[in-house]
Amino acid sequence: MQLIECTAEDHAGEIREILNDAIVHTTAIYDYHPRTPEDMVEWFRAKEEGEFPVLGAVDEAGDLLGFATYGVFRNWAAYKYSVEHSIHVRTAARGKGIGRALMERLIQKAVRQDLHVLVGAIDAGNAVSLALHRSFGFSDAGTIRHAGFKFGEWRDLVFMQLILETPTHPVDG
Protein backbone atom coordinates (compact mmCIF):
# COMPACT_ATOMS: atom_id res chain seq x y z
CA MET A 1 0.00 0.00 0.00
CA GLN A 2 1.13 3.52 -0.83
CA LEU A 3 -0.35 6.83 0.33
CA ILE A 4 -0.90 9.44 -2.36
CA GLU A 5 -2.59 12.78 -3.02
CA CYS A 6 -5.78 12.09 -4.97
CA THR A 7 -6.79 14.13 -8.00
CA ALA A 8 -10.19 14.60 -9.60
CA GLU A 9 -8.88 13.35 -12.92
CA ASP A 10 -7.43 10.12 -11.57
CA HIS A 11 -9.57 9.30 -8.54
CA ALA A 12 -13.04 10.91 -8.67
CA GLY A 13 -14.62 7.75 -10.06
CA GLU A 14 -13.07 5.45 -7.47
CA ILE A 15 -13.88 7.84 -4.60
CA ARG A 16 -17.45 8.00 -5.90
CA GLU A 17 -17.65 4.18 -5.86
CA ILE A 18 -16.45 4.07 -2.25
CA LEU A 19 -18.85 6.82 -1.18
CA ASN A 20 -21.79 5.26 -2.96
CA ASP A 21 -21.14 1.87 -1.41
CA ALA A 22 -21.14 3.54 2.02
CA ILE A 23 -24.35 5.44 1.23
CA VAL A 24 -26.22 2.38 -0.05
CA HIS A 25 -24.95 -0.27 2.39
CA THR A 26 -23.83 1.41 5.64
CA THR A 27 -24.63 4.09 8.18
CA ALA A 28 -21.21 5.71 7.73
CA ILE A 29 -22.89 8.42 5.63
CA TYR A 30 -26.35 9.65 6.57
CA ASP A 31 -27.55 10.12 3.01
CA TYR A 32 -29.95 8.21 0.78
CA HIS A 33 -28.82 9.20 -2.71
CA PRO A 34 -25.62 7.99 -4.39
CA ARG A 35 -23.25 10.64 -5.71
CA THR A 36 -23.22 11.48 -9.40
CA PRO A 37 -20.16 12.33 -11.50
CA GLU A 38 -21.32 15.96 -11.37
CA ASP A 39 -21.41 15.83 -7.57
CA MET A 40 -17.78 14.72 -7.59
CA VAL A 41 -16.73 17.69 -9.74
CA GLU A 42 -18.22 20.01 -7.10
CA TRP A 43 -16.74 17.93 -4.26
CA PHE A 44 -13.20 18.22 -5.64
CA ARG A 45 -13.71 21.92 -6.44
CA ALA A 46 -14.61 22.58 -2.80
CA LYS A 47 -11.55 20.65 -1.62
CA GLU A 48 -9.29 22.68 -3.91
CA GLU A 49 -10.83 26.02 -2.92
CA GLY A 50 -10.46 25.22 0.77
CA GLU A 51 -6.96 23.80 0.30
CA PHE A 52 -8.21 20.60 1.92
CA PRO A 53 -6.30 17.37 1.28
CA VAL A 54 -7.73 14.31 -0.39
CA LEU A 55 -5.42 11.47 0.56
CA GLY A 56 -5.62 8.03 -0.95
CA ALA A 57 -4.28 4.58 -0.24
CA VAL A 58 -3.52 2.60 -3.39
CA ASP A 59 -2.40 -0.97 -3.96
CA GLU A 60 0.52 -2.02 -6.15
CA ALA A 61 -1.73 -1.87 -9.24
CA GLY A 62 -2.69 1.73 -8.42
CA ASP A 63 -6.27 0.88 -7.41
CA LEU A 64 -7.74 3.08 -4.69
CA LEU A 65 -8.31 1.14 -1.46
CA GLY A 66 -9.54 4.07 0.61
CA PHE A 67 -9.37 7.81 1.04
CA ALA A 68 -9.36 10.47 3.73
CA THR A 69 -10.14 14.16 3.66
CA TYR A 70 -11.36 17.04 5.74
CA GLY A 71 -13.34 20.16 5.08
CA VAL A 72 -15.28 23.00 6.63
CA PHE A 73 -16.65 22.20 10.07
CA ARG A 74 -18.89 25.25 10.38
CA ASN A 75 -19.07 28.08 7.89
CA TRP A 76 -18.23 31.03 10.15
CA ALA A 77 -14.82 32.65 10.38
CA ALA A 78 -14.10 31.83 14.02
CA TYR A 79 -14.19 28.10 13.15
CA LYS A 80 -11.27 28.47 10.73
CA TYR A 81 -8.98 26.28 12.86
CA SER A 82 -11.48 23.39 13.07
CA VAL A 83 -12.27 20.86 10.33
CA GLU A 84 -14.51 17.82 10.00
CA HIS A 85 -12.77 14.79 8.58
CA SER A 86 -13.82 11.53 7.00
CA ILE A 87 -12.07 8.29 6.15
CA HIS A 88 -13.60 5.60 3.95
CA VAL A 89 -12.07 2.24 3.03
CA ARG A 90 -13.38 -0.22 0.46
CA THR A 91 -15.18 -3.13 2.08
CA ALA A 92 -12.70 -5.71 0.77
CA ALA A 93 -9.74 -3.69 2.09
CA ARG A 94 -10.94 -3.17 5.67
CA GLY A 95 -9.01 -4.55 8.61
CA LYS A 96 -5.62 -4.14 6.96
CA GLY A 97 -4.45 -0.91 8.60
CA ILE A 98 -5.49 1.38 5.75
CA GLY A 99 -7.75 3.56 7.90
CA ARG A 100 -4.99 3.87 10.50
CA ALA A 101 -2.41 4.91 7.88
CA LEU A 102 -4.80 7.46 6.37
CA MET A 103 -5.69 8.91 9.79
CA GLU A 104 -2.02 9.30 10.70
CA ARG A 105 -1.27 11.17 7.47
CA LEU A 106 -4.44 13.28 7.80
CA ILE A 107 -3.40 14.43 11.28
CA GLN A 108 0.06 15.31 9.94
CA LYS A 109 -1.56 17.39 7.18
CA ALA A 110 -3.76 19.19 9.71
CA VAL A 111 -0.73 20.09 11.84
CA ARG A 112 1.14 21.38 8.76
CA GLN A 113 -1.89 23.51 7.87
CA ASP A 114 -1.92 25.02 11.39
CA LEU A 115 -5.32 23.62 12.29
CA HIS A 116 -6.37 23.09 15.89
CA VAL A 117 -9.31 20.65 16.04
CA LEU A 118 -10.24 17.61 13.97
CA VAL A 119 -13.91 16.65 14.36
CA GLY A 120 -15.32 13.26 13.46
CA ALA A 121 -19.07 12.58 13.23
CA ILE A 122 -19.49 8.82 13.62
CA ASP A 123 -22.54 6.58 13.74
CA ALA A 124 -22.83 5.27 17.31
CA GLY A 125 -22.99 1.72 15.99
CA ASN A 126 -19.65 1.96 14.18
CA ALA A 127 -17.47 0.39 16.89
CA VAL A 128 -14.45 0.03 14.58
CA SER A 129 -14.36 3.73 13.70
CA LEU A 130 -14.94 4.79 17.30
CA ALA A 131 -12.05 2.55 18.43
CA LEU A 132 -9.76 3.88 15.69
CA HIS A 133 -10.45 7.45 16.73
CA ARG A 134 -9.86 6.70 20.41
CA SER A 135 -6.56 5.01 19.56
CA PHE A 136 -5.37 8.33 18.09
CA GLY A 137 -6.39 10.28 21.20
CA PHE A 138 -9.76 11.56 19.99
CA SER A 139 -12.17 12.19 22.85
CA ASP A 140 -15.94 12.01 22.91
CA ALA A 141 -17.41 15.46 22.37
CA GLY A 142 -21.07 14.47 22.62
CA THR A 143 -23.78 12.35 21.08
CA ILE A 144 -26.79 13.61 19.20
CA ARG A 145 -29.48 11.01 19.75
CA HIS A 146 -31.73 10.27 16.80
CA ALA A 147 -29.69 12.61 14.58
CA GLY A 148 -30.54 10.65 11.44
CA PHE A 149 -33.07 8.15 10.15
CA LYS A 150 -31.66 5.42 7.93
CA PHE A 151 -32.53 1.81 7.17
CA GLY A 152 -35.82 2.19 9.04
CA GLU A 153 -34.43 3.33 12.37
CA TRP A 154 -33.15 6.36 14.22
CA ARG A 155 -29.36 6.67 14.31
CA ASP A 156 -27.29 8.28 17.06
CA LEU A 157 -24.32 10.39 15.95
CA VAL A 158 -21.18 10.56 18.11
CA PHE A 159 -18.94 13.57 17.77
CA MET A 160 -15.27 13.00 18.54
CA GLN A 161 -12.49 15.57 18.56
CA LEU A 162 -8.73 15.69 18.54
CA ILE A 163 -7.16 18.90 19.81
CA LEU A 164 -3.83 19.64 18.13
CA GLU A 165 -1.00 21.80 19.48
CA THR A 166 -1.24 24.03 16.40
CA PRO A 167 -1.45 26.88 15.59
CA THR A 168 1.11 28.40 17.90
CA HIS A 169 -0.20 31.94 17.28
CA PRO A 170 -3.92 31.88 16.41
CA VAL A 171 -5.46 35.17 15.31
CA ASP A 172 -8.94 36.62 15.05
CA GLY A 173 -10.26 37.67 11.68
Give the burial class of 19: count Cβ atoms within 10 A of its Cβ; 0-12 exposed, 13-18 middle, 19 or more buried: buried
Task: Give the rounded percent of residues in the chain with a pLDDT score beyond 70.
Answer: 100
For residue 46, what pLDDT is reported?
A: 96
Cβ partners under 8 Å of residue 107, min gap 6? 118, 136, 162, 164
153, part of any domain: yes
**Domain limits for position 127:** 2-163
Give the integer Cα–Cα distance in Å for 98 and 66.
7
Domain count for the chain, please give it: 1
d(CA 81, CA 73): 9
Average pLDDT in the chain: 97
CATH at 138: 3.40.630.30
Instruction: Determine, yes or no, domain membership for 168.
Output: no
Tell me: the pLDDT tens digits for 111-159?
999 999 999 999 999 999 999 999 999 999 999 999 999 999 999 999 9
pTM here? 0.94
